[in-house]
Amino acid sequence: MDSPFSADARDLLSPFAELVKSPEYVHTYRITPLSLWNAASCGISYAFIHEVLSRFSRYPVPENLLFEIREYMERYGKLWLEHNPGMNGELLLRSHDEVLILELLQQPRLKDYILGRWDAGSLRVAPGLRGHLKQVLIREGFPVEDRAGYEEGDPLDIELRPHLSMGEPFTVRYYQNDAAGSFWAGGSVRGGSGVIVLPCGAGKTVVGMLVMTLIRQHTLILVTNTAALHQWRDELLDKTSLRADQIGEFSGEIKEFKPVTISTYHILTYRKNREDDFIHMHLFNERNWGLVVYDEVHLLPAPVFRFTAEIQTKRRLGLTATLVREDGREDDVFSLIGPKKHDVPWKVLEQQGWIAHAECAEIRIPLPDDLRMEYAVTAHREKYRVAASNPSKIRVLQDLIRFHTEENILIIGQYLDQLEQIRVIIGAPLITGRMPNREREVLYEAFRVGKQRILIVSKVANFAIDLPAAGIAIQVSGTFGSRQEEAQRLGRILRPKSSGRTAWFYSLVTRDTHDQKFAHNRQLFLTEQGYRYHLVDMKELDQFLAGRSETGTRS
């Protein structure tokens, strides 16, 4: 990272490689088949990858590595699915490589999906097994480009408004148009399924609405929680021609179907016990949907993948800030939702002013002597809780609150007892999953308009909460090493500030414990996006903050 070319190398590697480790000076990237196929799906060529690796490598790039990269890149598009006209929904798995077709015909894992050979370059695929076949093939090392087309849903009259409900002009940003256009692909069979990757605060919801105006058919929108459901509904009413009676809510409180229906992953995967069926999965087939939108697709629960495999004739749009999944099922996102269609780096949008400039600091705090023995003898699976709940973090938290006297501050944590202790000491309201949605919305609105300067929030605020007033986020504990959570928490402070102030994301971490170990893994996402952590010892915090004041970066 001391090299003058490090930033360029990072920006050029990230479209086709995944960051694995990020110690202070040497960052390690991994190139995987899936990272190459996602790159290929966005139009990145082998020639580009070859040039980047050759340009930044200290030594000649091994020929065998280049050979492997080229071979994996060439696999994307080598197999494709298309409709077999006049054959009752039957599909054809096709390739220009007749030997590959013959090889697949002999594969035992494919026997349940293949009906036989159609011609030298095609295999007949059973109707309804489109998604399952793609899942099997990607695990065999062959991604399938899906050109089989889609069933048309019931029509929906929808347009974007030129003005918002309060009268301000509404303009779609260039990258939002580009993202929607990449997904739609002119209405051809090469479009209609895939994932759009944009930073939190960059307007992924607008991309979803743009796609809805291109498809103009009944739409099912799946979101992470009830707050996100209400946010989508409000955005649709504010920015589109849809009326309130055209938007339905399918949640724990209300169950209604309308031309646009919004539901949560939680309600879809609800069942009374582990042996019962998922009682609300009929939602997928309740209406003649023309589009299914998966918000925060990196959080898609495993049961929803299974049902998504059954609805491959529906157009499917995934929206996310990161393709990283903690369960490692990125290949299922690729095969069942679709490949990455558009990706805009966070730092690019920051430089253009679409999201706020942000800096990150990890403050390392020692464990008090009286807790060191408890930590040493605690069972392995409980060590993180002991370290993450370090009471010394509260003193540092108070110092940061005193320093940021003019900013709206979010205090974010994992453990409710820790957050309750902070609530008592700080005197700010605490929002948890136990709080009714209406009460949450009252507090969120007070924060937005400046009546409430500090909010303490649990994991309920990780996703899809629009809090543009937030300028400071202080993370006191996280979900182990979750990179996707780090992305969402940083996203809470990335709405552009009218003052132009820098947003700050602080992580309070207990030194030399599991807390520090997991924090390092969470840093990977931020480093991938171009953010550099300031590593600050608690003893040096006053000096660090004083230095920022002197350089004019207090805010």
**Domain topology for 174-344:** Rossmann fold (3.40.50)
Distance spanning both ends of the chain, measured CA to CA: 26
How far are the Cα atoms of 187, 199, 319, 442, 530 from residue 176, in angstroms, in the given order? 17, 12, 12, 30, 21
pLDDT in tens, the chain (555 residues): 456 777 788 788 888 988 766 555 677 788 999 999 999 998 899 999 999 999 998 889 999 999 999 999 999 999 999 988 877 778 999 999 999 999 999 889 998 899 989 999 999 998 788 999 999 999 999 999 999 999 999 999 999 999 987 788 999 999 999 999 999 999 998 999 999 998 877 889 999 999 999 999 999 999 988 878 988 999 999 999 999 999 999 988 888 999 999 998 888 887 777 777 777 777 777 789 999 999 988 878 888 888 888 888 899 999 988 787 767 788 999 999 999 999 887 778 888 888 777 788 889 999 998 888 888 888 877 888 888 899 999 999 999 999 998 888 989 888 899 999 999 999 999 998 888 878 888 988 898 888 999 999 887 765 556 666 678 889 898 765 455 566 666 666 667 666 667 888 898 999 988 888 877 766 766 666 666 678 899 999 989 988 776 554 544
pLDDT at 527: 66
Q: 380: Cβ–Cβ under 8 A, 6 or more apart, which residues?
A: none
Query: What is the rounded distance in angstroms from the CA atom of residue 78 to the CA atom of residue 242?
Result: 41
Superfamily of domain 350-550: P-loop containing nucleotide triphosphate hydrolases (3.40.50.300)
How far are the Cα atoms of 132, 297, 335, 460 from residue 302, in angstroms, in the given order? 14, 11, 14, 20
Write out the E strands in 224-357.
Answer: 247-250, 260-264, 291-295, 315-320, 340-343
Write out the E strands in 321-406.
Answer: 340-343, 358-365
Task: Decide if 210 contacts 175 (C-beta within 8 A).
Answer: no
- pTM for the complete prediction? 0.81
What HEC string does 150-217 produce?
CCCCCECCCCECCECCCCCECCCCHHHHHHHHHHHHHHCCCCCEEEEECCCCCCHHHHHHHHHHHHCE
Residue in 157, 160, 180, 178 with CA at minimum distance from that of residue 169: 160
Question: What does the angle CA 13 – CA 33 – CA 196 come to, to the nearest 5 degrees?
Answer: 65
Query: What is the rounded distance in angstroms from the CA atom of residue 305 to the CA atom of residue 337?
Result: 9
pLDDT at 489: 67
CATH of 79-146, one of 3.10.560, 2.50.20, 3.40.50, 3.30.70: 3.30.70
Query: Distance from CA of residue 435 to its chain's centroid?
Result: 25
User: Are domains 79-146 and 174-344 of this chain identical in fold?
Assistant: no
- Amino acid identity, position 162: P
Q: Backbone phi, then psi, for 430, in 5-degree steps? A: -115, 130
The residue extents of the domains of the chain are: 6-75, 79-146, 174-344, 350-550
Segment 261-289, tens digit of pLDDT: 999 888 888 777 777 777 777 777 778 99
pLDDT at 500: 67
Strands 91-94 and 122-125: antiparallel
The DSSP annotation for 237-258 comes to HHHBS--GGGEEEESSS-B---
Write the DSSP symbol of residue 368. P
Query: What is the rounded distance in angstroms from the CA atom of residue 204 to the CA atom of residue 198?
Result: 6
**Hey, what are 38's tokens?**
């996602």
Residue in 436, 432, 366, 428 with CA at minimum distance from that of residue 395: 366
- Number of neighbours of residue 21 by Cβ within 10 angstroms: 14
Task: Decide if 468 contacts 448 (C-beta within 8 A).
Answer: yes
Residue in 20, 8, 30 with CA at minimum distance from that of residue 347: 8
Residue in 171, 183, 230 with CA at minimum distance from that of residue 208: 183
Segment 15-32, tens digit of pLDDT: 898 876 655 567 778 899
The answer for 91, left when phi > 0, alpha when psi is -120 to 50, beta otherwise, is beta
Residue in 261, 317, 315, 260 with CA at minimum distance from that of residue 293: 317
Evaluate the CA torsion angle 114, 41, 482, 227 in order and state its sign. Answer: negative
Query: What is the rounded distance in angstroms from the CA atom of residue 376 to the CA atom of residue 381?
Result: 12
- Number of neighbours of residue 175 by Cβ within 10 angstroms: 19
Query: What is the rounded distance in angstroms from the CA atom of residue 458 to the CA atom of residue 452?
Result: 17
